[in-house]
A and B are shown apart, each in its own frame.
Chain A
Amino acid sequence: MKVDDALSHPAPVSNLEFKAALLLALFVALVLGTVLYLMYARGSFEETQQLVLVVDDSEGVRVGMDLTFAGFPIGRVHRIELAPDGAARIVIDVLRRDAHWLRESSVFILMRSLVGGVSLKAYSGVLTDPPLPDGAQRKVLVGDTNAELPLLVSNARELLQNLTRLSATDSALSASLNNLQMLTERLNGPRGAAGVLLGNEAEARKLATALDRVNQLLARLDGMAVKADAQVLGPAGLVHETRATVLQLNIMLGDARDTLKRVDAVLAEAQAVAANTRVATTDLGALRAEIDATVRKVEQLVDEVNRKWPFARDAELKLR
Protein backbone atom coordinates (compact mmCIF):
# COMPACT_ATOMS: atom_id res chain seq x y z
CA MET A 1 0.00 0.00 0.00
CA LYS A 2 1.37 3.30 -1.08
CA VAL A 3 1.77 5.94 1.61
CA ASP A 4 0.45 9.39 0.79
CA ASP A 5 3.45 11.58 1.61
CA ALA A 6 1.79 14.91 1.03
CA LEU A 7 0.44 16.29 4.31
CA SER A 8 -0.68 19.66 3.02
CA HIS A 9 -2.57 20.14 -0.17
CA PRO A 10 -2.14 23.53 -1.84
CA ALA A 11 -5.00 25.10 -3.71
CA PRO A 12 -5.58 23.23 -6.98
CA VAL A 13 -4.30 25.05 -10.05
CA SER A 14 -5.30 24.10 -13.57
CA ASN A 15 -2.40 23.04 -15.82
CA LEU A 16 -0.13 23.35 -12.85
CA GLU A 17 2.82 21.44 -14.26
CA PHE A 18 2.63 23.31 -17.56
CA LYS A 19 2.64 26.65 -15.79
CA ALA A 20 5.53 25.61 -13.57
CA ALA A 21 7.41 24.45 -16.65
CA LEU A 22 6.62 27.77 -18.30
CA LEU A 23 8.11 29.61 -15.33
CA LEU A 24 11.16 27.40 -15.46
CA ALA A 25 11.50 28.00 -19.18
CA LEU A 26 11.18 31.74 -18.64
CA PHE A 27 13.91 31.59 -16.03
CA VAL A 28 16.20 29.56 -18.27
CA ALA A 29 15.52 31.93 -21.17
CA LEU A 30 16.31 34.94 -19.00
CA VAL A 31 19.54 33.46 -17.70
CA LEU A 32 20.65 32.26 -21.15
CA GLY A 33 19.73 35.58 -22.74
CA THR A 34 21.62 37.49 -20.08
CA VAL A 35 24.67 35.27 -20.47
CA LEU A 36 24.64 35.66 -24.26
CA TYR A 37 24.14 39.41 -23.97
CA LEU A 38 27.02 39.73 -21.52
CA MET A 39 29.23 37.63 -23.79
CA TYR A 40 28.29 39.90 -26.68
CA ALA A 41 28.93 42.96 -24.51
CA ARG A 42 32.32 41.59 -23.54
CA GLY A 43 33.17 41.15 -27.22
CA SER A 44 33.28 37.37 -27.12
CA PHE A 45 31.84 37.15 -30.61
CA GLU A 46 34.17 39.78 -32.08
CA GLU A 47 37.44 39.05 -33.86
CA THR A 48 40.33 40.90 -32.31
CA GLN A 49 43.98 41.56 -32.94
CA GLN A 50 46.60 42.23 -30.32
CA LEU A 51 48.45 45.43 -29.66
CA VAL A 52 51.17 45.70 -27.03
CA LEU A 53 51.75 49.08 -25.43
CA VAL A 54 54.94 49.54 -23.45
CA VAL A 55 54.99 52.06 -20.65
CA ASP A 56 57.33 52.78 -17.75
CA ASP A 57 54.58 52.94 -15.16
CA SER A 58 51.26 51.19 -15.63
CA GLU A 59 49.73 52.49 -12.41
CA GLY A 60 46.00 53.08 -12.82
CA VAL A 61 45.71 50.84 -15.87
CA ARG A 62 43.35 47.96 -15.22
CA VAL A 63 42.25 44.94 -17.13
CA GLY A 64 39.09 45.66 -19.11
CA MET A 65 39.64 49.40 -19.54
CA ASP A 66 39.16 50.91 -22.98
CA LEU A 67 41.54 52.08 -25.64
CA THR A 68 39.73 54.96 -27.29
CA PHE A 69 40.13 56.57 -30.67
CA ALA A 70 38.41 59.95 -31.02
CA GLY A 71 36.38 59.10 -27.92
CA PHE A 72 35.18 55.75 -29.25
CA PRO A 73 36.32 52.52 -27.60
CA ILE A 74 38.13 50.40 -30.16
CA GLY A 75 39.93 48.03 -27.85
CA ARG A 76 40.12 46.67 -24.34
CA VAL A 77 43.03 45.93 -22.05
CA HIS A 78 43.40 42.16 -21.96
CA ARG A 79 46.43 41.72 -19.77
CA ILE A 80 49.12 43.75 -18.00
CA GLU A 81 52.48 42.15 -17.49
CA LEU A 82 56.00 43.09 -16.50
CA ALA A 83 58.58 42.80 -19.28
CA PRO A 84 62.12 41.48 -18.59
CA ASP A 85 63.51 45.00 -18.98
CA GLY A 86 61.28 46.31 -16.16
CA ALA A 87 58.77 48.08 -18.40
CA ALA A 88 55.06 47.36 -18.18
CA ARG A 89 53.46 45.66 -21.18
CA ILE A 90 49.78 46.41 -21.68
CA VAL A 91 48.29 43.82 -23.99
CA ILE A 92 45.20 45.18 -25.72
CA ASP A 93 42.58 43.37 -27.78
CA VAL A 94 41.67 45.66 -30.65
CA LEU A 95 38.47 44.87 -32.53
CA ARG A 96 39.23 43.84 -36.11
CA ARG A 97 36.47 46.03 -37.47
CA ASP A 98 38.03 49.07 -35.76
CA ALA A 99 41.67 48.12 -36.28
CA HIS A 100 41.88 50.18 -39.49
CA TRP A 101 41.93 53.35 -37.39
CA LEU A 102 45.33 52.36 -36.07
CA ARG A 103 48.21 53.02 -38.47
CA GLU A 104 51.97 52.61 -38.39
CA SER A 105 52.30 56.26 -37.44
CA SER A 106 49.64 56.16 -34.69
CA VAL A 107 50.52 57.62 -31.32
CA PHE A 108 49.30 56.13 -28.03
CA ILE A 109 48.86 58.24 -24.93
CA LEU A 110 48.24 57.26 -21.32
CA MET A 111 46.32 60.15 -19.76
CA ARG A 112 46.20 60.54 -16.01
CA SER A 113 43.61 63.09 -15.02
CA LEU A 114 42.58 64.40 -11.62
CA VAL A 115 39.08 62.94 -11.87
CA GLY A 116 38.19 59.71 -13.61
CA GLY A 117 41.44 57.82 -13.33
CA VAL A 118 43.52 56.73 -16.28
CA SER A 119 42.58 56.56 -19.94
CA LEU A 120 44.35 55.13 -22.95
CA LYS A 121 43.99 57.09 -26.18
CA ALA A 122 45.14 56.49 -29.74
CA TYR A 123 45.79 59.22 -32.33
CA SER A 124 46.29 58.56 -36.02
CA GLY A 125 47.52 61.63 -37.85
CA VAL A 126 47.99 60.08 -41.28
CA LEU A 127 45.21 57.66 -42.07
CA THR A 128 46.80 56.74 -45.39
CA ASP A 129 49.77 55.09 -43.68
CA PRO A 130 49.98 51.28 -43.62
CA PRO A 131 47.69 49.70 -41.01
CA LEU A 132 49.12 48.52 -37.71
CA PRO A 133 49.95 44.80 -37.90
CA ASP A 134 48.68 42.21 -35.46
CA GLY A 135 50.84 41.96 -32.34
CA ALA A 136 52.52 45.34 -32.93
CA GLN A 137 54.40 46.85 -30.01
CA ARG A 138 54.44 50.59 -29.37
CA LYS A 139 55.73 52.96 -26.72
CA VAL A 140 53.14 54.97 -24.84
CA LEU A 141 53.43 58.68 -24.24
CA VAL A 142 52.33 59.67 -20.77
CA GLY A 143 50.26 62.77 -20.13
CA ASP A 144 50.10 63.01 -16.38
CA THR A 145 48.12 65.80 -14.76
CA ASN A 146 49.19 64.62 -11.34
CA ALA A 147 52.84 64.75 -12.35
CA GLU A 148 52.43 68.37 -13.34
CA LEU A 149 50.91 69.24 -9.98
CA PRO A 150 54.20 69.34 -8.03
CA LEU A 151 55.64 71.77 -10.57
CA LEU A 152 52.50 73.86 -10.34
CA VAL A 153 52.63 73.83 -6.55
CA SER A 154 56.32 74.73 -6.62
CA ASN A 155 55.66 77.70 -8.91
CA ALA A 156 52.71 78.77 -6.80
CA ARG A 157 54.86 78.58 -3.67
CA GLU A 158 57.54 80.70 -5.33
CA LEU A 159 54.92 83.22 -6.36
CA LEU A 160 53.52 83.34 -2.85
CA GLN A 161 57.00 83.84 -1.42
CA ASN A 162 57.55 86.73 -3.79
CA LEU A 163 54.22 88.21 -2.81
CA THR A 164 55.07 87.78 0.85
CA ARG A 165 58.43 89.48 0.31
CA LEU A 166 56.72 92.29 -1.56
CA SER A 167 54.11 92.81 1.12
CA ALA A 168 56.50 92.56 4.10
CA THR A 169 56.81 95.63 6.37
CA ASP A 170 60.49 96.12 5.50
CA SER A 171 60.03 95.47 1.77
CA ALA A 172 60.89 97.91 -1.00
CA LEU A 173 57.23 98.13 -1.94
CA SER A 174 56.24 99.02 1.59
CA ALA A 175 58.99 101.68 1.76
CA SER A 176 57.82 103.08 -1.57
CA LEU A 177 54.28 103.24 -0.30
CA ASN A 178 55.46 105.00 2.86
CA ASN A 179 57.37 107.51 0.76
CA LEU A 180 54.33 108.01 -1.39
CA GLN A 181 52.27 108.64 1.71
CA MET A 182 54.80 111.20 2.94
CA LEU A 183 54.79 112.81 -0.49
CA THR A 184 51.03 113.02 -0.45
CA GLU A 185 51.11 114.58 3.00
CA ARG A 186 53.65 117.16 1.85
CA LEU A 187 51.61 117.84 -1.27
CA ASN A 188 48.68 118.57 0.98
CA GLY A 189 50.94 120.73 3.23
CA PRO A 190 51.32 124.54 3.16
CA ARG A 191 54.12 124.59 0.56
CA GLY A 192 52.39 121.99 -1.70
CA ALA A 193 54.18 120.72 -4.80
CA ALA A 194 56.86 123.44 -4.55
CA GLY A 195 57.95 122.15 -1.18
CA VAL A 196 58.05 118.61 -2.63
CA LEU A 197 60.12 119.73 -5.64
CA LEU A 198 62.63 121.87 -3.71
CA GLY A 199 63.07 119.50 -0.86
CA ASN A 200 63.23 121.85 2.18
CA GLU A 201 61.42 124.81 3.65
CA ALA A 202 64.22 127.38 3.08
CA GLU A 203 64.34 126.74 -0.63
CA ALA A 204 60.58 126.86 -0.84
CA ARG A 205 60.64 130.21 0.98
CA LYS A 206 63.24 131.51 -1.51
CA LEU A 207 61.01 130.47 -4.34
CA ALA A 208 58.12 132.35 -2.82
CA THR A 209 60.30 135.46 -2.49
CA ALA A 210 61.45 135.11 -6.07
CA LEU A 211 57.88 134.85 -7.18
CA ASP A 212 57.03 138.06 -5.33
CA ARG A 213 59.87 139.87 -6.98
CA VAL A 214 58.86 138.55 -10.36
CA ASN A 215 55.40 139.92 -9.69
CA GLN A 216 56.88 143.34 -8.89
CA LEU A 217 58.98 143.19 -12.03
CA LEU A 218 55.96 142.37 -14.06
CA ALA A 219 54.09 145.36 -12.58
CA ARG A 220 56.97 147.60 -13.53
CA LEU A 221 57.09 146.11 -17.01
CA ASP A 222 53.42 146.77 -17.30
CA GLY A 223 54.00 150.52 -16.64
CA MET A 224 56.78 150.59 -19.19
CA ALA A 225 54.52 148.97 -21.71
CA VAL A 226 51.91 151.68 -21.21
CA LYS A 227 54.50 154.38 -21.81
CA ALA A 228 55.87 152.63 -24.88
CA ASP A 229 52.37 152.36 -26.18
CA ALA A 230 51.91 156.11 -25.90
CA GLN A 231 55.20 156.79 -27.63
CA VAL A 232 54.55 154.39 -30.45
CA LEU A 233 50.84 154.71 -31.02
CA GLY A 234 50.15 158.18 -29.59
CA PRO A 235 49.26 161.31 -31.66
CA ALA A 236 52.91 162.27 -31.86
CA GLY A 237 53.98 158.70 -31.83
CA LEU A 238 56.24 156.76 -34.02
CA VAL A 239 53.47 155.19 -36.04
CA HIS A 240 51.96 158.57 -36.99
CA GLU A 241 55.27 159.96 -38.15
CA THR A 242 56.02 156.86 -40.04
CA ARG A 243 52.74 157.20 -41.88
CA ALA A 244 53.64 160.80 -42.96
CA THR A 245 57.03 159.64 -44.07
CA VAL A 246 55.47 156.93 -46.16
CA LEU A 247 53.25 159.51 -47.87
CA GLN A 248 56.25 161.65 -48.70
CA LEU A 249 58.04 158.66 -50.00
CA ASN A 250 55.09 157.92 -52.27
CA ILE A 251 55.29 161.45 -53.74
CA MET A 252 59.02 161.12 -54.22
CA LEU A 253 58.48 157.81 -55.95
CA GLY A 254 56.02 159.50 -58.38
CA ASP A 255 58.64 162.12 -59.22
CA ALA A 256 61.25 159.49 -59.69
CA ARG A 257 58.88 157.64 -62.00
CA ASP A 258 58.47 160.76 -64.22
CA THR A 259 62.21 161.30 -64.26
CA LEU A 260 62.73 157.78 -65.31
CA LYS A 261 60.24 158.23 -68.15
CA ARG A 262 62.23 161.16 -69.43
CA VAL A 263 65.44 159.22 -69.13
CA ASP A 264 63.74 156.52 -71.10
CA ALA A 265 63.03 158.95 -73.93
CA VAL A 266 66.62 160.18 -73.90
CA LEU A 267 67.78 156.65 -74.09
CA ALA A 268 65.50 156.03 -77.06
CA GLU A 269 67.06 158.92 -78.87
CA ALA A 270 70.53 157.78 -77.97
CA GLN A 271 69.58 154.39 -79.35
CA ALA A 272 68.59 156.02 -82.65
CA VAL A 273 71.91 157.86 -82.77
CA ALA A 274 73.71 154.66 -82.16
CA ALA A 275 71.81 153.05 -85.00
CA ASN A 276 72.89 155.75 -87.40
CA THR A 277 76.46 155.41 -86.26
CA ARG A 278 76.29 151.68 -86.97
CA VAL A 279 75.14 152.38 -90.55
CA ALA A 280 77.96 154.81 -91.01
CA THR A 281 80.37 152.30 -89.70
CA THR A 282 79.10 149.81 -92.30
CA ASP A 283 79.75 152.28 -95.15
CA LEU A 284 83.28 152.91 -93.90
CA GLY A 285 83.97 149.23 -94.24
CA ALA A 286 83.02 149.21 -97.89
CA LEU A 287 85.19 152.26 -98.51
CA ARG A 288 88.13 150.64 -96.89
CA ALA A 289 87.69 147.58 -99.04
CA GLU A 290 87.71 149.65 -102.14
CA ILE A 291 90.86 151.52 -100.99
CA ASP A 292 92.49 148.21 -100.30
CA ALA A 293 91.69 147.03 -103.79
CA THR A 294 93.04 150.25 -105.31
CA VAL A 295 96.26 150.15 -103.31
CA ARG A 296 96.72 146.54 -104.39
CA LYS A 297 96.32 147.58 -108.00
CA VAL A 298 98.82 150.46 -107.60
CA GLU A 299 101.26 148.08 -105.99
CA GLN A 300 100.88 145.68 -108.83
CA LEU A 301 101.49 148.62 -111.26
CA VAL A 302 104.65 149.78 -109.48
CA ASP A 303 105.91 146.23 -109.45
CA GLU A 304 105.32 146.12 -113.19
CA VAL A 305 107.16 149.44 -113.71
CA ASN A 306 110.07 148.23 -111.60
CA ARG A 307 110.42 145.17 -113.66
CA LYS A 308 110.39 147.22 -116.76
CA TRP A 309 112.63 149.95 -115.39
CA PRO A 310 116.20 148.54 -115.41
CA PHE A 311 117.92 151.27 -113.46
CA ALA A 312 115.73 151.32 -110.64
CA ARG A 313 116.75 148.79 -107.97
CA ASP A 314 114.66 150.13 -105.19
CA ALA A 315 111.58 148.05 -105.30
CA GLU A 316 110.15 149.45 -102.09
CA LEU A 317 106.72 150.78 -102.49
CA LYS A 318 105.70 153.56 -100.18
CA LEU A 319 102.18 154.34 -99.48
CA ARG A 320 101.19 157.96 -98.88
Chain B
Amino acid sequence: MTPTTSPPGAFAELARTAGAWLFGWWRTVHLTALLLVLALSPSSYRREHRRALASHVYLGTAESLLWFTVLSTLISLVVTRIVLVTALSYGLSQYALEMVVRVLVLELIPLAAALFAALRCTTPLAAEIAALRSRGEWDEAAARGADPLRSEVLPRVVAGVFCTLMLAAVSCVVTLVVAYLSTYAFTTEGFGAYTHTVGQVFNPVVSLIFGLKILFFGITVALMPMAAVLDTTPRRRAYTSVELQGLVRMFLAIVLIEVASLVGNYY
Protein backbone atom coordinates (compact mmCIF):
# COMPACT_ATOMS: atom_id res chain seq x y z
CA MET B 1 0.00 0.00 0.00
CA THR B 2 1.40 3.34 -1.04
CA PRO B 3 0.70 6.54 0.90
CA THR B 4 -1.05 8.18 -2.07
CA THR B 5 -3.69 5.46 -2.27
CA SER B 6 -4.57 5.58 1.43
CA PRO B 7 -7.88 7.42 2.24
CA PRO B 8 -6.19 10.44 3.85
CA GLY B 9 -3.77 10.65 0.95
CA ALA B 10 -6.58 10.43 -1.63
CA PHE B 11 -8.54 13.10 0.21
CA ALA B 12 -5.52 15.37 0.31
CA GLU B 13 -4.95 14.80 -3.41
CA LEU B 14 -8.61 15.61 -4.12
CA ALA B 15 -8.40 18.75 -2.02
CA ARG B 16 -5.22 19.80 -3.84
CA THR B 17 -6.84 19.23 -7.23
CA ALA B 18 -9.98 21.14 -6.24
CA GLY B 19 -7.88 23.94 -4.84
CA ALA B 20 -5.81 24.13 -8.02
CA TRP B 21 -8.99 24.09 -10.09
CA LEU B 22 -10.55 26.86 -8.09
CA PHE B 23 -7.28 28.81 -8.12
CA GLY B 24 -7.15 28.44 -11.89
CA TRP B 25 -10.67 29.88 -12.19
CA TRP B 26 -9.72 32.68 -9.87
CA ARG B 27 -6.71 33.55 -12.02
CA THR B 28 -8.99 33.53 -15.05
CA VAL B 29 -11.37 35.92 -13.34
CA HIS B 30 -8.45 38.08 -12.30
CA LEU B 31 -7.09 38.18 -15.83
CA THR B 32 -10.57 39.05 -17.09
CA ALA B 33 -10.74 41.95 -14.70
CA LEU B 34 -7.26 43.14 -15.72
CA LEU B 35 -8.09 42.95 -19.41
CA LEU B 36 -11.43 44.65 -18.85
CA VAL B 37 -9.68 47.52 -17.16
CA LEU B 38 -7.18 47.71 -19.98
CA ALA B 39 -9.92 47.49 -22.58
CA LEU B 40 -11.80 50.36 -20.98
CA SER B 41 -8.68 52.44 -20.67
CA PRO B 42 -8.21 54.99 -23.51
CA SER B 43 -4.45 54.56 -23.33
CA SER B 44 -4.83 51.08 -24.73
CA TYR B 45 -6.02 52.58 -28.02
CA ARG B 46 -3.09 54.87 -28.65
CA ARG B 47 -1.57 54.94 -32.08
CA GLU B 48 1.17 52.42 -31.25
CA HIS B 49 -1.40 49.87 -30.07
CA ARG B 50 -4.09 50.68 -32.63
CA ARG B 51 -2.27 49.09 -35.55
CA ALA B 52 -1.81 45.78 -33.72
CA LEU B 53 -5.45 45.89 -32.66
CA ALA B 54 -6.65 46.60 -36.20
CA SER B 55 -4.42 43.88 -37.56
CA HIS B 56 -5.69 41.20 -35.16
CA VAL B 57 -9.31 42.30 -35.54
CA TYR B 58 -9.16 42.26 -39.32
CA LEU B 59 -7.11 39.09 -39.75
CA GLY B 60 -8.98 37.21 -37.05
CA THR B 61 -12.43 38.04 -38.39
CA ALA B 62 -12.09 38.43 -42.15
CA GLU B 63 -10.60 34.98 -42.63
CA SER B 64 -13.43 33.28 -40.77
CA LEU B 65 -16.29 35.44 -41.93
CA LEU B 66 -16.77 34.10 -45.43
CA TRP B 67 -16.43 30.45 -44.49
CA PHE B 68 -18.69 30.71 -41.52
CA THR B 69 -21.30 32.59 -43.52
CA VAL B 70 -21.34 29.80 -46.08
CA LEU B 71 -21.46 27.18 -43.33
CA SER B 72 -24.26 28.88 -41.41
CA THR B 73 -26.23 29.32 -44.63
CA LEU B 74 -26.04 25.60 -45.31
CA ILE B 75 -26.93 24.67 -41.73
CA SER B 76 -29.83 27.12 -41.73
CA LEU B 77 -31.09 25.83 -45.04
CA VAL B 78 -31.03 22.20 -43.94
CA VAL B 79 -32.48 22.75 -40.47
CA THR B 80 -35.17 25.12 -41.75
CA ARG B 81 -36.17 22.62 -44.39
CA ILE B 82 -36.32 19.78 -41.86
CA VAL B 83 -38.41 21.80 -39.41
CA LEU B 84 -40.80 23.07 -42.09
CA VAL B 85 -41.38 19.64 -43.63
CA THR B 86 -41.80 17.97 -40.25
CA ALA B 87 -44.19 20.63 -39.00
CA LEU B 88 -46.17 20.38 -42.24
CA SER B 89 -46.48 16.61 -41.93
CA TYR B 90 -47.87 17.00 -38.42
CA GLY B 91 -50.23 19.80 -39.46
CA LEU B 92 -48.40 22.33 -37.30
CA SER B 93 -47.02 24.56 -40.05
CA GLN B 94 -48.22 27.70 -38.26
CA TYR B 95 -45.63 27.05 -35.56
CA ALA B 96 -42.80 26.06 -37.90
CA LEU B 97 -41.46 29.54 -38.53
CA GLU B 98 -41.42 30.45 -34.86
CA MET B 99 -39.63 27.20 -34.12
CA VAL B 100 -37.04 27.89 -36.81
CA VAL B 101 -36.34 31.34 -35.41
CA ARG B 102 -36.16 30.06 -31.86
CA VAL B 103 -34.01 27.02 -32.56
CA LEU B 104 -31.68 28.49 -35.14
CA VAL B 105 -31.35 32.19 -34.47
CA LEU B 106 -31.68 32.10 -30.71
CA GLU B 107 -29.81 28.92 -29.88
CA LEU B 108 -27.83 27.10 -32.55
CA ILE B 109 -26.26 29.86 -34.60
CA PRO B 110 -24.74 31.86 -31.69
CA LEU B 111 -23.35 28.65 -30.26
CA ALA B 112 -21.92 27.64 -33.63
CA ALA B 113 -20.45 31.14 -34.07
CA ALA B 114 -18.74 30.97 -30.69
CA LEU B 115 -17.26 27.54 -31.36
CA PHE B 116 -16.14 28.53 -34.86
CA ALA B 117 -14.50 31.69 -33.50
CA ALA B 118 -12.77 29.64 -30.83
CA LEU B 119 -11.37 27.15 -33.31
CA ARG B 120 -10.45 29.56 -36.10
CA CYS B 121 -9.47 32.69 -34.19
CA THR B 122 -8.99 32.67 -30.45
CA THR B 123 -7.17 29.34 -30.01
CA PRO B 124 -4.53 30.22 -32.65
CA LEU B 125 -4.14 33.66 -31.08
CA ALA B 126 -3.60 32.04 -27.69
CA ALA B 127 -1.08 29.70 -29.25
CA GLU B 128 0.85 32.75 -30.47
CA ILE B 129 1.08 34.06 -26.91
CA ALA B 130 2.18 30.64 -25.74
CA ALA B 131 4.89 30.66 -28.40
CA LEU B 132 6.06 34.10 -27.25
CA ARG B 133 6.32 32.84 -23.72
CA SER B 134 8.15 29.70 -24.76
CA ARG B 135 10.68 31.72 -26.74
CA GLY B 136 11.23 33.95 -23.70
CA GLU B 137 10.25 37.10 -25.58
CA TRP B 138 7.45 37.75 -23.10
CA ASP B 139 9.88 37.93 -20.19
CA GLU B 140 12.32 40.05 -22.22
CA ALA B 141 9.61 42.56 -23.04
CA ALA B 142 8.55 42.70 -19.43
CA ALA B 143 12.18 43.26 -18.45
CA ARG B 144 12.41 46.12 -21.00
CA GLY B 145 9.51 47.81 -19.22
CA ALA B 146 6.92 47.10 -21.87
CA ASP B 147 3.49 45.74 -20.94
CA PRO B 148 2.93 42.62 -23.03
CA LEU B 149 -0.54 42.21 -21.50
CA ARG B 150 -1.60 45.49 -23.10
CA SER B 151 0.42 45.20 -26.29
CA GLU B 152 -0.04 41.48 -27.09
CA VAL B 153 -2.91 39.98 -25.12
CA LEU B 154 -5.50 42.77 -25.20
CA PRO B 155 -5.57 43.13 -29.03
CA ARG B 156 -5.96 39.38 -29.38
CA VAL B 157 -8.73 39.18 -26.80
CA VAL B 158 -10.56 42.13 -28.37
CA ALA B 159 -10.14 40.50 -31.76
CA GLY B 160 -11.55 37.24 -30.41
CA VAL B 161 -14.59 38.95 -28.87
CA PHE B 162 -15.17 40.97 -32.03
CA CYS B 163 -14.83 37.87 -34.18
CA THR B 164 -17.48 36.04 -32.15
CA LEU B 165 -19.88 38.98 -32.19
CA MET B 166 -19.36 39.57 -35.89
CA LEU B 167 -19.85 35.94 -36.83
CA ALA B 168 -22.97 35.71 -34.68
CA ALA B 169 -24.43 38.92 -36.11
CA VAL B 170 -23.79 37.99 -39.73
CA SER B 171 -24.96 34.42 -39.34
CA CYS B 172 -28.14 35.45 -37.49
CA VAL B 173 -29.05 37.88 -40.26
CA VAL B 174 -28.24 35.26 -42.87
CA THR B 175 -30.34 32.69 -41.03
CA LEU B 176 -33.30 35.06 -40.80
CA VAL B 177 -33.05 35.67 -44.55
CA VAL B 178 -32.69 31.95 -45.33
CA ALA B 179 -35.66 31.09 -43.10
CA TYR B 180 -37.79 33.69 -44.90
CA LEU B 181 -36.75 32.47 -48.33
CA SER B 182 -37.32 28.83 -47.38
CA THR B 183 -40.81 29.62 -46.19
CA TYR B 184 -42.05 32.24 -48.64
CA ALA B 185 -39.56 31.94 -51.55
CA PHE B 186 -38.59 35.04 -53.50
CA THR B 187 -41.60 37.20 -52.78
CA THR B 188 -42.29 40.08 -50.44
CA GLU B 189 -45.84 38.97 -49.69
CA GLY B 190 -44.87 37.12 -46.53
CA PHE B 191 -42.78 39.93 -45.09
CA GLY B 192 -45.52 41.21 -42.78
CA ALA B 193 -46.35 37.81 -41.30
CA TYR B 194 -42.68 36.90 -41.01
CA THR B 195 -41.83 40.16 -39.29
CA HIS B 196 -44.73 39.61 -36.92
CA THR B 197 -43.44 36.15 -36.03
CA VAL B 198 -39.91 37.45 -35.47
CA GLY B 199 -41.34 40.23 -33.34
CA GLN B 200 -43.23 37.71 -31.26
CA VAL B 201 -40.12 35.65 -30.62
CA PHE B 202 -37.85 38.59 -29.84
CA ASN B 203 -39.68 40.13 -26.94
CA PRO B 204 -37.59 42.48 -24.79
CA VAL B 205 -36.50 39.81 -22.31
CA VAL B 206 -35.49 37.33 -24.99
CA SER B 207 -33.66 40.04 -26.93
CA LEU B 208 -31.73 41.09 -23.83
CA ILE B 209 -30.78 37.51 -22.97
CA PHE B 210 -29.82 36.90 -26.60
CA GLY B 211 -27.52 39.93 -26.67
CA LEU B 212 -25.93 39.10 -23.34
CA LYS B 213 -25.46 35.49 -24.35
CA ILE B 214 -23.55 36.40 -27.49
CA LEU B 215 -21.45 38.92 -25.58
CA PHE B 216 -20.54 36.38 -22.90
CA PHE B 217 -19.85 33.75 -25.54
CA GLY B 218 -17.42 36.17 -27.15
CA ILE B 219 -15.68 36.99 -23.87
CA THR B 220 -15.47 33.31 -22.96
CA VAL B 221 -14.01 32.06 -26.22
CA ALA B 222 -11.53 34.94 -26.30
CA LEU B 223 -10.46 34.74 -22.68
CA MET B 224 -10.37 31.08 -21.74
CA PRO B 225 -7.64 29.89 -24.13
CA MET B 226 -5.64 33.02 -23.39
CA ALA B 227 -6.01 32.55 -19.64
CA ALA B 228 -4.87 28.96 -19.98
CA VAL B 229 -1.62 29.86 -21.73
CA LEU B 230 -0.92 32.77 -19.40
CA ASP B 231 -1.69 30.71 -16.34
CA THR B 232 1.03 28.12 -16.66
CA THR B 233 4.83 28.26 -16.89
CA PRO B 234 6.40 26.67 -19.95
CA ARG B 235 8.97 24.89 -17.86
CA ARG B 236 6.51 22.80 -15.89
CA ARG B 237 3.94 21.59 -18.43
CA ALA B 238 3.63 20.90 -22.10
CA TYR B 239 1.60 23.50 -24.03
CA THR B 240 -0.73 20.98 -25.62
CA SER B 241 -2.21 20.06 -22.25
CA VAL B 242 -2.57 23.73 -21.39
CA GLU B 243 -4.50 24.39 -24.58
CA LEU B 244 -6.65 21.37 -23.89
CA GLN B 245 -7.33 22.61 -20.39
CA GLY B 246 -8.28 25.99 -21.81
CA LEU B 247 -10.65 24.39 -24.29
CA VAL B 248 -12.30 22.33 -21.57
CA ARG B 249 -12.82 25.41 -19.43
CA MET B 250 -14.15 27.26 -22.44
CA PHE B 251 -16.67 24.52 -23.26
CA LEU B 252 -17.74 24.36 -19.64
CA ALA B 253 -18.28 28.12 -19.55
CA ILE B 254 -20.18 28.03 -22.86
CA VAL B 255 -22.46 25.27 -21.57
CA LEU B 256 -23.12 27.25 -18.38
CA ILE B 257 -23.96 30.38 -20.38
CA GLU B 258 -26.24 28.40 -22.69
CA VAL B 259 -28.04 26.80 -19.76
CA ALA B 260 -28.44 30.17 -18.07
CA SER B 261 -29.89 31.64 -21.25
CA LEU B 262 -32.31 28.73 -21.62
CA VAL B 263 -33.42 29.15 -18.04
CA GLY B 264 -33.90 32.88 -18.62
CA ASN B 265 -35.85 32.32 -21.84
CA TYR B 266 -38.09 29.45 -20.91
CA TYR B 267 -38.57 29.56 -17.14
A residues whose Cβ falls under 8 Å from a Cβ of B: 3-8, 10-11, 13, 16-17, 19-21, 23-24, 26-27, 30-31, 33-34, 37-38, 40-43, 63-66, 73, 115-116
Contacts and interface: CB of A to CB of B under 8 A. Distances in A.
Contact of B150 (A5, A23, A42): A5
A43 B198 CA distance: 11
A63 B203 contact: yes
B128 A8 contact: yes
A66 B92 contact: no
Interface stretch (B167-175, B182-190, B248-256): B167-175
A116 B145 CA distance: 66
B51 interface: yes
B173 A42 contact: no
Contacts of A8: 128, 132, 152
Interface string B196-210: 101110111001000
A137 B50 CA distance: 60
Contact of B152 (A4, A7, A13): A7
Nearest to A28: B169
B21 to A, nearest CB: 31
B151 A23 contact: no
Nearest to B197: A41
B24 interface: no
A23 B95 contact: no
Contacts of A26: 166
Contacts of A42: 199, 202-204
A7 B50 CA distance: 14
Nearest to B173: A30
B83 to A, nearest CB: 16
Contact of B196 (A11, A23, A27, A73): A73
Given A6-B151, A16-B54, A27 B141 contact: no
Chain B interface residue bracket vs A: 35 or more
A152 to B, nearest CB: 21
A10 B52 CA distance: 8
Contacts of B94: 116
A17 B207 contact: no
B162 interface: yes
A19 to B, nearest CB: 5
Contacts of B241: none
Closest 4 CB pairs of A and B: A41-B199, A5-B151, A20-B54, A30-B169
B202 A38 contact: yes
Contacts of A63: 203
Contacts of B200: 64-66
Contacts of B199: 38, 40-43
21 contacts: A5-B49, A6-B48, A8-B132, A10-B55, A10-B59, A13-B59, A16-B51, A17-B50, A19-B58, A19-B62, A20-B53, A20-B58, A21-B54, A23-B61, A30-B169, A30-B173, A37-B198, A38-B207, A41-B195, A64-B203, A66-B196
A13 B94 CA distance: 49
Given A6-B52, A7-B148, A10-B52, 5 more contacts: A7-B151, A19-B58, A23-B62, A30-B169, A30-B170
Interface string B37-58: 0000000000011111111111
A11 B58 CA distance: 11
Nearest to B131: A8
B88 interface: no
B59 A11 contact: yes
A14 to B, nearest CB: 11
A74 B202 CA distance: 18
A6 to B, nearest CB: 5
Contacts of B54: 16-17, 19-21
B165 interface: yes
A20 B61 CA distance: 9
A21 to B, nearest CB: 8
